């Protein structure tokens, strides 16, 4: 009788269905890196949770010790492989990285095989800026730029200029420059007599060139205002100089709208007169019932940047 009981128990164990206790440590495979860019990559892999709630993450870094870890992500608790594709950003261009996939559940931790990839080179590119911009006609400005990309230090760069009316073409301005280890460079242009286009270009690779930067040259506009009062309405007389000479160009008297809303509007117009002394003069009388803030604007097409005098506030025009 006892033998019969033992046989029944053993048979029941052999035919009992699988339970949660059959869960195992996850199985993880580190896949190949994809979409490799200068500063980003997609890491791939697969994980089989083996019947228990499982999370996974990637370890990566520039040595076999890794150093960086992605946040743990849920992979589920099934018994099938789950494909993983995880974007990674903030990498250094043209650098070899080591990585592997890791997964863990209640039964243990599994580590995939360590693999490597190398990020792509960062293409070289040039940018250029000027300070100050605009400058007074004939004044100096400093051109500063950056050569970005892989191998940007110690590279020969030339700055070229093309003055108004921009028909000369770009010619070298100053000596050839050598970029600093971080790719930066700068050069001072002693005189910008008219609006001038500038660009930076690599000596060894002429196709690497910055966008065109226009540095504006402004005319110095002086203004003196005389107030004449009459019985019915006051008159303002504006006079001054424009240096360098801009003979025949428009001289516009402007007034600021009340409280500064809407900006400046025209209240009078004249023309710059020839003197033969390197500057032009102007004179214009306008009628005004109320005072306000005024300025004188010189419009000189494309040769010079828009140029204006310092503003002045006239408190009262009428008596």
* pLDDT tens, position by position, 189-201: 999 999 999 999 9
| pLDDT value for 315 | 81
Does any domain span residue 31? yes
Q: Is residue 93 part of a domain?
A: yes
- The verdict on residue 9 lying in a domain is no
Instruction: Kindly tell me if the per-residue pLDDT of 13 is higher than 50.
Output: no
Same domain, 113 and 32: yes
Residue 143 included in any domain: yes
CATH code for the domain of 237: 2.60.40.3720
Q: Would residue 16 count as lying in a domain?
A: no
- Is residue 101 very low, low, confident or very high in pLDDT (cuts 50, 70, 90)? very high
pLDDT score of 211 more than 80: yes
> Which pTM value belongs to this model?
0.75
| Cα angle value 239/316/238 (rounded, 5°) | 5
Name which of 262, 284, 263, 261 is nearest 272 in CA terms: 284
Q: What is the number of structural domains in the chain?
A: 3
The answer to whether residue 130 is domain-embedded is: yes
Are residues 226 and 310 both part of a single domain?
yes
- Residue-level pLDDT at 110: 97
Domain end marker among 99, 118, 137: 118
Mean pLDDT, the chain, integer:
90
**Bridge partner list, 202:** 157
* Residue at a domain's end among 118, 137, 171: 118
Residue 310 lies in a domain: yes
Question: Tens of pLDDT along 34-54?
Answer: 999 999 999 999 999 999 999
**Confidence grade of residue 15 (pLDDT, cut at 50, 70, 90):** very low
Instruction: Determine what percent of the chain is predicted with pLDDT higher than 70.
Output: 90
Is 21 a residue whose pLDDT tops 90?
no
- Give the structural domain span for 176: 125-218
The residue from 218, 243, 270 where one domain ends is 218
């Amino acid at each position: 009788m006892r033998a019969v009981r033992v046989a029944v128990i053993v048979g029941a164990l052999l035919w009992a269905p699988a339970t949660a206790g059959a869960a195992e440590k996850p199985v993880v495979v580190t896949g190949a890196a994809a979409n490799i860019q200068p500063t980003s990559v997609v890491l791939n892999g697969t994980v089989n949770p083996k019947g228990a709630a499982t999370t996974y993450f990637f370890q990566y870094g520039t040595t076999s010790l890794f150093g960086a870890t992605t946040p743990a992500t849920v992979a589920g608790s099934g018994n099938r492989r789950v494909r993983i594709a995880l974007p990674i950003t903030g990498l250094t261009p043209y650098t070899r990285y080591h990585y592997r996939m890791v997964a863990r559940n209640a039964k243990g931790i599994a580590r995939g095989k360590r693999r490597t990839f190398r990020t792509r080179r960062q293409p070289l590119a040039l940018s250029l800026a000027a300070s100050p911009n605009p400058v007074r006609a004939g004044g100096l400005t400093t051109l500063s730029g950056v050569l970005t990309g892989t191998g940007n230090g110690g590279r020969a760069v030339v700055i070229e200029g093309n003055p108004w009316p921009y028909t000369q073409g770009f010619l070298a301005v100053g000596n050839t420059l050598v970029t600093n280890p971080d790719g930066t460079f700068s050069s001072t242009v002693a005189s910008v007599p008219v609006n001038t286009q500038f660009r930076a270009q690599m000596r060894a690779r002429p196709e690497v060139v910055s966008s065109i930067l226009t540095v504006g040259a402004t005319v110095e506009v002086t203004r003196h205002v005389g107030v004449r009062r009459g019985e019915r309405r006051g008159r303002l007389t504006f006079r001054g100089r424009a240096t360098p000479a801009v003979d025949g160009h428009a001289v516009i008297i402007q007034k600021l709208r009340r409280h500064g809303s809407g900006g400046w509007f025209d209240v009078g117009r004249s023309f710059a007169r020839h003197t033969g002394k390197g500057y032009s003069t102007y004179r214009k009388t306008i009628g005004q019932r109320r005072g306000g803030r005024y300025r004188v604007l010189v419009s000189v097409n494309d040769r010079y940047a828009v140029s204006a005098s310092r503003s002045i506030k006239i408190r009262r025009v009428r008596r």
